[in-house]
Each structure stands twice: as C-alpha cells, then as structure tokens.
Amino acid sequence: MRRRASRGLLSSSADFAELMWPTRCVCCNMPGELLCDACRDSLPWIEQRWACPACGAPHGWLTCTGCGADAVHASVVGGMEASAWECRAVVCALEFAGPAALMATTLKDAHELRLASVLAAAMATALDEASSWPALDGEARFDRAAVDAICFVPATPAAYNRRGFDHMELVAHALANLLDLPLADVLIRCASKDQRNLGKQSRAENLRGTVRVIDDVSDARLLLVDDVITTGASVREATRSLLSRGARSATACCLARVW
C-alpha cells in the first residue's frame, strides 16, 4: 500500500513538473519532446556508404582529407592493413552542425541528462547502417556479434568536477542497453589542458599519455564511444591505451563529426 502511494506521489510530482516546466525541443524550443519531429527530420545524418571507414569523415570513402588518402587506400604491410588511425573503424552518426551540435552541448553543459538516450539512439542507428559497409580490414564496420563490450572516452577531472557527471558514461549506458552489450568502465583520464582552443597537433600532444586503462582488456573487442570527433585526438589516444594493454581491437562510434 505504501509503495503504491509512493509511486502515485512521484507520478503526480512528475506531472506537476511537466505542467510547470514542459519538456521542450532542444533545437527549436517547441514544447512536447526533447527532439521534435521537424528537428529530427533535419538532422545532418552522415551516409555511412560515403563516409571514411578510418576516421568517420563524411564523403571520405574515396579520398579523405580528414586522415589522408593512405588511410582509405590501405597498404598491406607484413600481411596486415595499415591505417593512419589506430581504430579498426570509426562510425559517426551526424555532422557537427545545427541540431547535432545543440544535442551534444545541451546534454553536457545544460545538464539535460534525458538526452543521453537520444544520443545513444542516433549512434545505434548509425551503427546499424555501418554494418552494411566494409572497414579497412574488409569486415563490416560494425558487427554486434564481434563486439565484447562498450567503453567510453571519459571526461577530464576538471570537466567532471564542473558538471558533476560524465556525459559519455550516461550515453554509453544507454547504448549498451540498446545493443544488449556489457559496459566496460575501463578508462580514466588525467588532467590536461582544455582542448577547445588547441590545433590538431597541439591536441594530440596535449592528450599524449593522459588516458589510462584500469582493468583487464586482454583480447577484448571493444566499441569505444565519444560525443564529438574534431581532430580525433581523444579517440585515438584512448584506442592506443586500449591496444597497448592487450585489447584485440577498438571500433569507435561518435555522435558527431566536425567537418
């Protein structure tokens, strides 16, 4: 009886909160949903068929200016295909523009935590499409059966202290539930400078050695998730750390790609 009364009270509180502060679209501010139908239809989806399999850049399948042509037209070295990036493949759902940019920033900077499941759904959609197209090794860019667990690029200590949560941990939890895969919280980040005002080379140097693996990942095939790829420094550093600790492979998936 008490439990039913408690649930009823919580439901009434939620209804009252929705009445006083209705859910609004993060893009156009229309009441109703976090992402309304019109804004959902305007999302700048990346067609996986035409995306670079090595860095996820839109239109980079033939010649990629994001990571270099050698990454796309991989050469064979010692029987293994060489790639400019350490990830086995990179899948990005959206171009970092308009609604995609607002979704990412509203989650982590405006504390709209309910957006974690929206971002996860977009990433799951991109992964589903990417499963039809080959990575540089000739296998599908994403194959759920070939993934042992999901991990995520963690927030810096400064970002965590500022926000009070790790936004990619929330997204990774939601994506793990959607894909029915285990979540492996195996990475931590040491302090580093804010990346936003750094160039490509400076970003890579700033992050070198700042991502550590804190659990056994030996022979694991991992899906590594992050919110936005700009130069790829964060994803690449995390991948290097995972591979150096014995992971068999890391396929990266991000919500958005700066292009």
Two structure tokens written together for 40: 């959902």
Q: What is the pLDDT of residue 248?
A: 98
Structure confidence by residue, pLDDT tens digits, 200-236: 555 556 566 789 999 999 999 999 999 999 999 999 9
Residue 123 CA to residue 117 CA, distance in Å, equals 10
Say what the pTM is: 0.84
Q: Which helix (H) or strand (E) segment is 149 a member of? A: strand 149-152
Q: Which residues of 143-168 are buried (b: 16+ CB within 10 A; e: fewer)?
A: eeeebbbbbbbbbbeebeeeeeebbb
Record the tokens describing residue 81, joined without a space: 């295909």
Judge whether 57 and 47 are in contact, CB under 8 Å. Answer: no
Q: What is the dihedral of CA 92, 98, 104, 107, to 10 degrees?
A: -150
Residue of 248, 179, 188, 192 whose CA lies nearest to 215: 188
* Residue ranges, the chain, pLDDT below 70: 1-21, 68-84, 191-208
pLDDT at 194: 58
Please, what sign has the CA dihedral across residues 163, 123, 56, 143? positive
Domain 44-257 has CATH 3.30.70: no
Q: What is the largest CA-CA distance in the chain?
A: 69
Q: Which residues 6+ apart lie within 8 Å of 126 measured at CB?
A: 45, 46, 48, 91, 92, 93, 94, 253
What is the SS3 assignment for 2? helix
Residue spans of the domains in the chain: they are: 44-257
SS3 219: coil
pLDDT digits (tens, 9 = 90+) for 144-160: 999 999 999 999 999 99
Q: Rounded distance, CA 137 to CA 234, Å?
A: 23
